[in-house]
Amino acid sequence: MKITYLCGRICSGKSTYRPEARRLMVSDIVRNVVRSNDRERLQNSMHLENDILEGLSMCIDYDIEMDVQELIIDGIRQPSILKRLSAVYGGEIVWLEVPLEERKRRYESRGAEKDTEPFEIADNKAIELECQKIYSIFSKQLKVINN
């Protein structure tokens, strides 16, 4: 199975990248772990790393068993989770790079119910800043795509 770990800041276009592939949304795993849809609770989940990792691993193992050919793991925001998953399952790390102004435009135009705060606040939450560390830590392994 080909695994792609798809990373990028808020509104970088992760949800539209290779829509034909089987997609595992990290936010769905986090939602199950915290048992909430509240954006604030979902973004304050860094302390739940092991629970999130366990949920992701169970889903990946299931997809391997089901002989899925291509899996995109969408939205990992913690370098430690990415490091552990890629060590076990291998795969390619893709970073979607989008200029700040374009991400802000997308955020403001999408009108998502979950977007209850201005872009500047959402983009500077601890979990988003943690996501940016992926770019630094894995810079030599990343396939950067300007999106």
**How many secondary structure helices (H) and strands (E) does the chain include?**
7, 5
Q: Which residue has the higher pLDDT, 53 or 112?
A: 53
Mapped onto helix, strand or coil, the DSSP state of residue 142 is: strand
Between CA 26 and CA 70 the distance in angstroms is 16
Decide if pLDDT at 35 tops 70. no
Nearest to 6, CA basis, from 91, 68, 63: 91
The tens digit of pLDDT for each residue in 40-88 reads 554 555 567 888 899 999 999 999 999 999 999 998 988 999 999 999 9
Out of 6-15, 32-41, 62-71, which region has the weakest mean confidence (pLDDT)? 32-41
CA 119 to chain centre: 18
Between CA 97 and CA 14 the distance in angstroms is 10
